[in-house]
Amino acid sequence: MYDLIIVGGSAAATAAGIYAARRKLNFKIVTTEFGGEVATSGDIENWPGIVHTNGIVLASDFRKHLKSYNVEMEDGATITKVEKMPDGSFTLQVNKAGNGTTSYQSRAVLITTGVHPRLLGIHGEKEFFHKGVTYCTTCDGPLFQDKMVATIGGGNSALESALMLNDIAKKVYVINRNPAFQGEQVLMDKVQEAKRIEIVYNANTTKIIGDQFVTGLTYDNGDGKEHQIDVQGVFVHIGMVPNSGFLDIVEKDRLGQIIVDGLCQTNISGLFAAGDVTNVPYKQIAIAAGQGVCAALAIIDYLNKQKA
């Protein structure tokens, strides 16, 4: 029986892991993949104390920090179910990629599973995934040198995608279904000034078309006509969805975010959540890390009270 199992492997899990290790809890981190959305973030210039880093380096630094405390990390293992037992402990069902399934027992559980990109849900999106359609500009952008591409979305992540592609592609359309962007002014200014970017406002992407690979997309801007543009790449940045689907015992909001209080407690005693998967606003690496610390300390209190 573990004191704690941390599910997930990025900023919140790392921060919680460091604190749990310093208090010498009997715990482990179980994650489908280490690094999460931090790893695909590209340049990072808002992590206090580090003027400039990038997602790959920061994720690798997180791992090193945990290793320095000899934290047990199980990578490539996905928790498929969390159940509360009559004695107050938890049973977690684990699917180890390629190595069957098992289960773990723990007195407390911390969920830090983060988010994944939202899909458009339109014709052609699934068929052309990795055949022109991608959700990670930092990963796949470099393959579109001198090609025609489109970024879909209206927030910071879409703006960042368009700016990266501006340096790589021949032309970048930004398809925004709203009449304006919602993001940092500095990014909006850069996009407006960028030579290769053309913004299409009030446009709903309706279809991704192609043969073996993407050749174009269609959009609807309310004028009753179907508009088509020829592109070889479609970069989808329309927001994130919490990775909370595997949890059926906990209270969530309408977006699927796990509802937590100021101590990162859920409605189930002993089950805590931290980071982007929760209903705490502003999805930021520093916020996730801070919540991870808060959760770890609250969990230590919870375990101590149980023992008493």
264 counts as catalytic: no
Q: How far apart are CA 42 and CA 225, in angstroms?
A: 37
9 counts as binding another protein under rule CB under 8 A: no
Nearest to 150, CA basis, from 169, 123, 128: 169
216 counts as binding another protein under rule CB under 8 A: no
Q: How far apart are CA 280 and CA 29, in angstroms?
A: 22
Q: Using alpha carbons, list the distances in angstroms from residue 278 to 31, 243, 299.
A: 17, 10, 16
140 counts as catalytic: yes
Between 183 and 212, how does the x/- string for binding to another protein read (CB under 8 A)?
-----------------------------x
Nearest to 216, CA basis, from 206, 224, 202, 203: 206
97 counts as binding another protein under rule CB under 8 A: yes
Which of 131, 177, 196, 207 binds another protein (CB under 8 A)? It is: 131
100 counts as binding another protein under rule CB under 8 A: no
211 counts as catalytic: no
Which of 106, 134, 266, 291 binds another protein (CB under 8 A)? It is: 134
Least distance to another protein, CB of residue 213, Å = 7
Nearer to another protein, 145 or 267 (CB): 145
Which of 9, 114, 124, 141 binds another protein (CB under 8 A)? It is: 141
39 counts as binding another protein under rule CB under 8 A: yes
Q: Is the separation of the CB atoms in 171 and 198 below 8 Å?
A: yes
Q: Is the separation of the CB atoms in 56 and 33 below 8 Å?
A: no
Q: Which of 3, 75, 87, 140 is catalytic?
A: 140
**Looking at the chain, which runs of residues are DSSP E strands?**
2-7, 27-31, 43-44, 53-54, 72-75, 77-84, 90-96, 101-111, 115-117, 133-134, 148-152, 171-175, 197-200, 204-210, 214-220, 227-230, 233-236, 240-242, 271-273
87 counts as binding another protein under rule CB under 8 A: no
142 counts as binding another protein under rule CB under 8 A: yes
Q: Which of 139, 230, 248, 301 is catalytic?
A: 139
Rounding to the nearest 10 degrees, give the CA dihedral for residues 127, 132, 137, 141.
160
Nearer to another protein, 84 or 116 (CB): 116
Catalytic residue set: 136, 139-140
Binding site for another protein (CB under 8 A): 35, 39-40, 42, 54-56, 59-60, 76, 97-99, 130-132, 134, 136, 138-143, 145-146, 212-213
